[in-house]
A and B are shown apart, each in its own frame.
Chain A
C-alpha cells in the first residue's frame, strides 16, 4: 500500500485519504464525535466538564447495549425490532418481582421473557425464514400486549428497583459512571464473539454470502437461533440497567424511545444493514455520537418538532457521507 512518502504522483491525496479511511473506518467517526463536542463547547462554553462527560457516558450505555443487539443481527443482514419491548418487559418484571422475591430471583424472572422472545425470533427467522424485520416486529407487539395483561395482575404488589441497579444506573465513583462496570465486560464479550470466535465468524459469513456459508457446512438456523437469543438477552440486560438510570419502573414504554436510535447507532457506526460489514466498536462510537447530538439539539432550545427533523437529517447526512469516505471501490 502506498504511504505518504510514496513517489507515485498519480495517487491523489483524496484517494490516499479514502484508502486510509477504508482501512481505518473508526477514524472519521471519532473525528466527528470530537467535532460535535467542540461545537457544543463553543455554543455553550463550559458545558463540557467532568459531570457532563459522566452523564453522556451514562446515557450512552443503554443505547449502546441495545445497539449491540442491532449490530449483531445486522451482521447477518437481519435486525431486531423487539429489543425495546424486551428491555421494557425485563425492567418492569424485575421491578414488580423484586419486592416479593428479592433481586436475584427477580432478575432471573425478568430475563425469562427475553429468552422466550429470542427463541421465537430465532425459530421464525432461522427455521421458517420469516424476514427478521417482520418476525421481531410481531414478537415485539405480542410481548407488549402480554406486558399490559401482566401489569393488571400485579398492580397491587407495587414496584421497587433494587439498589444494585440504581447504583449501576445513576452512580458515579471517582468521576467514573458505575454503569461501566457492567458495560465494559459486556462490550468485551460482544467484541470477543465478533472477532475471535467461530460463531462470530459465521455471523459475518452468513451476512456476506449465505450460500458460501452453507457450502462450507454451516447450518443457517442454528446460527440464527443462537444469534436472536443472544440479542434478546442482551436487550433484557440493557432494560435492567436502563430502569436503574431512568427510575420509572412502572412505565410500559420505558425503552421504546431507544428503539430507532439503537438502529441508527449501529448504522452510523458503520454496520451495513445488508450484512457482512461492521463491528461493535463503531457502534459504541455511534451511540456516543447520537447522545452528544441529542444534547446539542436540546441546548439549541428548538421546538421539539424541529429538533426531530434536524436529528433525522443529520443521521442521514452522516451515514451517507460516512459510506462515501470509507467505501474503497
Chain B
C-alpha cells in the first residue's frame, strides 16, 4: 500500500509557506503534502503555526510567500469559497452553523445538497434530526457532527478536520473516526489535526510536524512513533536551565491545611475529575495544550464558571463561588490571559490598579483613603510600571499593561493569584521581571497557580507542574524533572516511564532528573 501511495501525485502540495504579521513570523517555511486516499496528521505544539497554516490553506488568510498546488496546479486561494470550490473543505473546532437559522437554511447558505447531508448525519450516528430546528437549539456535540456531515455532503477531495473529536462523547467520536477511515478507503484525503496520539495512531497514515513555523519532519505512523514526533516537536532544544529555587513545599509544616484544595472537579465535557492541592508559598504550574480544559479550571477557581461536580476548599473550608467577588473575598484573584479582558483601556494606571478597592458596595463612598493610595503607589513601584503615559492604559506597551493586571492584585494583597499565561506576547525583559515577582510573592507566603504555554517557564518559576490533558490531570511533575521534553510528553498524555528506552528523550529526562 505504501508503495502505491508514493507513486501517485499529491492531491495537495504546499511548500515554503510563510506568513508575517508585521515583524512577527507566524509561519516561516511550512510545507504539507497530502496524497490521495491518505489520512494525514498535522501536529505541533502550541504556537507552532498549525492554525495559521490551516487558515492559509482554507483561504481565510493570505500567505506572505509559498506555493500551494492542488493536483499539481497552482492555486491562489483568496477566499474560503474558492478553497471549497477547489475541493478543500474544513471543519473547524468551533461550530460554524449560524445559530439563528434553521438547519435547512444553513445548508442553503453553503449550497449543500440536502439528501447526501441527511445520509451522512444518519451515518454519523444521529438518526432523528429535524432539519427545521434552529441551530442554536441543537446540542454542541451534534452541531459538530452536523458540520462534518455538511462538509462530507459536498464530497470534498481534501477534508480538513480540526480537533474533530474534542467535544464528542465516545460513541459519536467512534462513528466519526469510522467515517474518516472510509473516506480514505474511497480515495479521498483527510488532514487530521489532533492532540490525541491514540486517535492518530489508529487513523493516520503519515504525520507532518511543525515547530516554530517550520515543517520539521514528515513521519509514517507506526508503533512507537509518538516518541519521534515529540522529539521533532521539541527539536534540539534541550533544556539546561536550572530551577530558580528549591521547592518550598517540602518546608511546609505537617498538618497545615493547603491553601487551595481541588477535588474531583468537573465542568461539562471540558473538565473531568480534576484534583490537586496548592500550598501557601507555592507556585504551581499548569501545563496543557490548547483547549484541554485549563480555561474552565481557572474560570471555576475564579468564580466565573460554576462547576458541575466536585469541591473546592480554601484553607480547609469548602467554598462555592457564584461570582468573581466571592473568590476575591476568599483571597483568590484571577489574571486573565487576554489583557483586553482585564483592563479598563481608557482609564489611568492608578484607576486600573485601584479597581478592586471600589468594587464592593461598602466601598462605594469617597475615595482617597491613605491606605489605598499607598498600596497603589507601592504596587506601581514594585512592578516598575512605566507611568509616563499613565493617562490611558491603552497607551502603555504590552508588557507594562500586563504588569498593571498583576499589580492590581499585588495592591489588593490577594493571597492566591491565578495567572493565566501572563507572559504571552511580551518582551523578554518584562518576562524576567514577572518571573521574579511571582517567586517573591511565593516567598512571602502567597500561592500562585500559573498556566503557561511556554514550557521552559515551568523550570524558571514553578515548584511543580500539573499537567492536564483532555480535561484530566494526567501527571504532576516535581520541578526537578519538569523539563520541556517531559512536559511535552506528559501534555500529550504519554506516560512518564515509557521514555526510558528511547534515544534522546531518555537522555534528556535522565539528565533533568539526575539519574533516576
Enumerate chain A interface residues (CB-CB to B < 8 A).
23, 192, 196-199, 201-202, 204-205, 208-209, 211-219, 222, 226, 276-277
Residues of chain A contacted by B347 (CB below 8 angstroms): 204-205, 208, 276
Give the distance to chain B from A197, nearest Cβ to Cβ, in Å.
Answer: 5
Distance from B180 Cβ to chain A, minimum over Cβ atoms (Å): 38
Q: Which of B116-140 contact A (CB under 8 A)?
A: none
B325-347 vs A, Cβ < 8 Å mask (1 yes, 0 no) = 10011000010100011111111
**Contacts A215-B341, A218-B325 known; A202 to B346 CB distance under 8 Å?**
no
* Residue from A192, A202, A214 in contact with B358 in the complex, judged by beta carbons closer than 8 Å: A202
Within 8 Å by CB of A23, from B358, B363, B391, lies: B391
Q: Is the pair B356, A205 in contact by a Cβ cutoff of 8 Å?
A: no
Q: Which residue of A lies closest to B352 (CB)?
A: A212
Q: Are A209 and B304 in contact (CB under 8 A)?
A: no
Residue contacts A-B, CB under 8 angstroms, 29 given = A23-B391, A196-B366, A196-B367, A197-B364, A198-B357, A198-B359, A198-B363, A198-B367, A199-B364, A201-B354, A202-B358, A204-B344, A205-B347, A205-B355, A211-B341, A213-B355, A213-B359, A214-B324, A215-B336, A216-B356, A216-B359, A216-B408, A217-B324, A217-B329, A219-B323, A222-B361, A226-B364, A276-B346, A277-B346
Is B514 interfacial (CB-CB < 8 Å)? no
On whether the beta carbons of A218 and B344 are closer than 8 Å, the reply is: no
Residue in chain A with minimal CB distance to B327: A217
Complex: A209 Cα to B408 Cα, angstroms: 15
Best-surrounded residue of A197, A202, A212, A277 (most CB of chain B within 10 A): A212
Beyond contacts A213-B355, A219-B359: 19 other A-B pairs, Cβ-Cβ < 8 A, are A196-B368, A197-B358, A198-B358, A198-B364, A199-B365, A202-B364, A204-B346, A204-B347, A208-B344, A212-B341, A212-B343, A212-B355, A214-B324, A215-B334, A216-B324, A216-B355, A217-B360, A226-B364, A276-B344
Give B contacts to A, CB under 8 Å. 302, 304, 323-325, 328-329, 334, 336, 340-347, 351, 354-361, 363-368, 391, 408
A196 / chain B contacts, CB cutoff of 8 Å: 366-368
Q: Considering the chains assembled together, what is the distance between the CA atoms of A213 and B359 in angstroms?
A: 8
Residues of B within 8 A of A208 (CB): 344-347
C-alpha gap A279/B347 in the complex (Å):
13
A230 to B: closest C-beta gap in Å: 11
Closest to A222 in B: B361
Set of chain A residues within 8 Å of B323, measured between Cβ atoms: 214, 217, 219
Given A212-B344, A215-B302, A216-B408, A201 and B334 touching (CB < 8 A)? no
Contact of B356 among A192, A217, A226 (CB under 8 A): A217
- State whether A201 touches B358 (Cβ < 8 A): yes
Cα A204 to Cα B343 in complex, Å, equals: 12
Bound CA–CA A222/B360 (angstroms)? 9
Q: Which residues of chain B have C-beta atoms less than 8 A from A213's C-beta?
A: 344, 355, 359
| A201/B351 in contact, CB under 8 A | yes
CB <8 Å contact, B408 and A198: no
Whether A197 touches B344, Cβ cut-off 8 Å, given contacts A216-B408, A217-B360, A219-B325, is no
Residues of chain B with a CB closer than 8 A to A209's CB: 340-341, 343-345
A53 to B361 CA separation, bound complex (whole angstroms): 42
A211 to B354, CA, bound (A): 16
Q: Please report the C-alpha to C-alpha distance between residue A6 and residue B218 in the assembled complex, in whole angstroms.
A: 59
Most buried by A among B302, B334, B358: B358
Q: Which residue of B lies closest to A329 (CB)?
A: B394
Query: In the complex, A63 Cα to B427 Cα: how many Å?
Result: 51
Q: How far is the CB of B346 from chain A (nearest CB, A)?
A: 5
In the assembled complex, the Cα of A196 lies from the Cα of B364 at a distance in Å of 10
Q: Within the assembled complex, what's the spacing in Å between the Cα atoms of A209 and B347? A: 10
Work out how many contacts link A and B, with CB atoms closer than 8 A: 94
Chain B residues lying within 8 Å of A217, measured Cβ to Cβ, are 323-325, 328-329, 356, 359-360
- Most chain-A Cβ atoms within 10 A of its Cβ — which of B342, B359, B391? B359
Residues on B with C-beta less than 8 A from A216 are 324, 328, 355-356, 359, 408
Closest chain-B Cβ to A214's Cβ sits at a distance in Å of 6
Which residues of A lie under 8 Å from residue B346 when comparing CB positions?
204, 208, 276-277
Residues of B near A198 (CB, < 8 A) are: 357-359, 363-367
Closest to A192 in B: B366
Residues of B within 8 A of A201 (CB): 351, 354-355, 358, 367
- Determine the distance from Cα of A325 to Cα of B47 in the docked complex, in whole angstroms: 41
Residues from chain B with a CB closer than 8 A to the CB of A226 are 364
- Chain A residue numbers with a CB within 8 Å of B356 are 216-217
Query: Nearest CB to that of B336 among chain A residues?
Result: A215
Determine if B355 and A197 form an interchain contact, defined as CB atoms under 8 angstroms apart: no
Using CB atoms, name the residue of chain A closest to B341.
Answer: A211
Q: CB distance B344 to A202 under 8 Å?
A: no
A222 to B364, CA, bound (A): 11
Residues of A within 8 A of B365 (CB): 197-199
Q: Which 8 A-B pairs have the closest CB atoms?
A: A198-B358, A217-B359, A199-B364, A217-B325, A208-B344, A218-B359, A217-B328, A216-B355
Measured between alpha carbons, how far is A198 from B329 in the docked complex, in Å? 18
A124 CB → nearest B CB, Å: 20
- Closest beta carbon of chain B to A140's beta carbon, Å: 27
| C-alpha spacing A209/B323, complex, angstroms | 17
CA A201 to CA B360, docked complex, whole Å: 12
B358 with A199: CB separation less than 8 A: yes
In the complex, which residue of chain A has the Cβ closest to the Cβ of B325?
A217
| Interfacial chain B residues near A192, Cβ < 8 Å | 366
Smallest distance from the beta carbon of A41 to chain B beta carbons, Å?
Answer: 37
In whole angstroms, what is the CA distance A175 to B283 when docked? 69
A218 to B354, CA, bound (A): 12
Shortest Cβ distance from residue B140 to the other chain A in the assembled complex, whole angstroms: 22
Complexed CA–CA distance, A211 and B304 (Å): 10
Which residues of B are found within 8 Å of A205, using beta-carbon distances?
344, 347, 351, 355, 358
CA gap between A4 and B325 in the complex, in Å? 47
In angstroms, Cα B355 to Cα A218, docked, is 9
Residues of chain B lying within 8 A (CB to CB) of residue A204:
344, 346-347, 351
A194 CB to nearest chain B CB (Å): 11
Take A208-B344, A212-B343 as given contacts and tell me if A202 and B359 are in contact as well, using a CB distance cutoff of 8 Å. yes
Task: Report the separation of the CA atoms of residues A217 and B344 in the bound assembly, to the nearest whole angstrom.
Answer: 14
In the complex, the answer to whether A215 meets B342 with C-beta atoms within 8 Å is: yes
Taken together as a complex, chains A and B put the C-alpha atoms of A201 and B363 apart, in Å, by 11
A197–B366 touching, CB < 8 Å: yes
The distance in angstroms between the C-alpha atoms of A222 and B358, with both chains bound, is 13
Most B CB contacts (10 A, CB to CB) among A202, A209, A219 go to A209
Shortest CB distance A326–B (Å): 13
From B341, B346, B364, B367, residue with most partner A Cβ within 10 Å: B364
Which residues of B have CB within 8 Å of A215? 302, 304, 324, 334, 336, 341-342
The distance in angstroms between the C-alpha atoms of A276 and B393, with both chains bound, is 13
The closest CB in chain B to the CB of A215 belongs to B324
Write the nearest CB–CB distance from A136 to chain B, whole angstroms: 23
**Which residues does chain A contribute within 8 Å of B328, judged by CB atoms?**
216-217
Q: For the complex, what is the distance from the CA of A214 to the CA of B341, rounded to whole Å?
A: 10
- Whole-angstrom distance between the alpha carbons of A205 and B342 in the complex? 11
B361 proximity list for chain A (CB < 8 A): 219, 222
Q: Output the residue of A198, A209, A217, A222 with the most chain B CB within 10 A.
A: A217
Which residues of A lie under 8 Å from residue B358 when comparing CB positions?
A: 197-199, 201-202, 205, 218
- For residue A213, give the distance in angstroms from its CB to the closest CB of chain B: 7
Alpha-carbon distance between A211 and B360 when the two chains are bound, in angstroms: 16
On chain B, the residues within 8 Å of A219 by CB distance are: 323, 325, 359, 361
Shortest distance in angstroms between A285's beta carbon and chain B's nearest beta carbon?
21
